[in-house]
Amino acid sequence: MQIDGVETVHNSTCSMRFYEELNDFLPQERRKVCFSHHFQRRASIKDLIEAQGVPHTEIELILVNGCSVDFSYIVQDGDRISVYPIFEAFDLQSLVRVRPTPMRVSRFVLDVHLGKLARYLRLLGFDTLYRNNYEDGELARLSSETHRILLTRDRHLLKRAVITHGYYVRSVDPRRQIEEILERFDLYRVIQPFQRCVRCNGRLAATPKPQVVERLLPETRRWIEEFWVCEDCAQIYWEGSHLPHLRRWIDRLQARAHPGFAVEPGNE
């Protein structure tokens, strides 16, 4: 405010509470509790939330004094703020979601640290862009312009305003990462394995052996009859000795879409 032309600082306080996995971004003493936050300037709720270390892309719903608001809301002294993650388990139909309408098809773009995760996503049939030399600006642009969910281990990247759909991958182990993404975005039911090239993300097409025979090694030419070729990079695929192991792993993932399904002992 101004008094006689002199700018004064008004100390304001709000209370904040973050729910479920949003607590991953907070210091230990602020997790799963209501805490006070002091601020001294006009601030949007988006800025206040990201000041706590929580990227806006992780958020689905914000309640202020019991009423839902969007990211443009200006925080007031005494506000009680509750922040919920994506897919929080209650009906949000009558409330204000803080992002545009959700994506109906899950497509991804991944940062340079998630190469193995990209291969797993493509193996399971998900449209996944990845290069090991993407710059942050290019990742943000691709996510925004092509309507892809940005997966990253860089929480600061997710704070870019242009990104509306993104997720901070918690695990560092690629097998745990793919399970985390399938769980987070409820993708177990839409797995369609062996549809995409794990190298470039192109579609695979069944191809008669005579069309690829000149490109095969002698042993492969002798013993393998069925082939698939990437429509983009022309990589050749066939059923190798590792396929049964992959199928068992995929079966276990798909089984999670059906509660009560049990894998027989010995099939692990």
Select the more confidently predicted residue: 6 or 158: 158
Q: What is the pLDDT of residue 87?
A: 59
Q: What is the pLDDT of residues 184-223, one digit of tens each?
A: 888 998 999 999 999 999 999 999 999 999 999 999 999 9
Q: What is the pLDDT of residues 47-69, one digit of tens each?
A: 999 999 999 999 989 999 999 99
Q: What is the pLDDT of residue 117?
A: 98
State the average pLDDT over residues 14-37: 94
Q: What is the pLDDT of residues 106-150, one digit of tens each?
A: 899 999 999 999 999 999 999 999 999 999 999 999 999 999 999
In terms of residue numbers, what domain contains 188? 108-192
For residues 18 and 81, the answer to whether their CB atoms sit within 8 Å is no
Same domain, 65 and 113: no
**Using 50, 70 and 90 to split pLDDT, how confident is the model at 182?**
very high
Same domain, 73 and 30: yes
Select the more confidently predicted residue: 172 or 92: 172
Q: Which of 114, 112, 56, 119 minimizes the C-alpha distance to 83?
A: 56
**Using 50, 70 and 90 to split pLDDT, how confident is the model at 265?**
very low
Per the domain annotation, does 254 fall within a domain?
no
Q: What is the pLDDT of residue 261?
A: 47
Number of domains within the chain: 3
Per the domain annotation, does 172 fall within a domain?
yes
Q: Residue 27: is its pLDDT beyond 50?
A: yes
- b/e per residue 220-238 (b: at least 16 CB within 10 A): eeeebeebbbbeeeeebbb
Percent of the chain with pLDDT over 90: 76
Angstrom CA distances, 164 to 87, 99, 100, 149, stand at 15, 6, 8, 8
Please calculate the CA angle 169-101-94 and round it to the nearest 5 degrees: 110
Q: What is the pLDDT of residue 129?
A: 98
Domain boundary among 192, 219, 234: 192
Percent of the chain with pLDDT over 70: 85
Per the domain annotation, does 148 fall within a domain?
yes
Same domain, 155 and 80: no
Q: Residue 78: is its pLDDT beyond 60?
A: yes
Q: Residue 2: is its pLDDT beyond 70?
A: no
Residues 6+ apart with CB under 8 A from 264: none
**Using 50, 70 and 90 to split pLDDT, how confident is the model at 257?**
confident
By mean pLDDT, which of 38-42, 76-80, 260-264 is the weakest?
260-264
State the average pLDDT over residues 237-253: 94
Per the domain annotation, does 92 fall within a domain?
no
Q: What is the pLDDT of residue 98?
A: 64
Per the domain annotation, does 18 fall within a domain?
yes
State the average pLDDT over residues 91-95: 55
Per the domain annotation, does 95 fall within a domain?
no
Select the more confidently predicted residue: 30 or 267: 30
Same domain, 114 and 151: yes
Per the domain annotation, does 103 fall within a domain?
no
Same domain, 185 and 232: no
Same domain, 145 and 211: no
Per the domain annotation, does 248 fall within a domain?
no
Residue type, 168: Y
Maximum average pLDDT range among 36-45, 154-163, 198-207: 198-207
Q: What is the mean pLDDT of the chain?
A: 88
Same domain, 134 and 187: yes
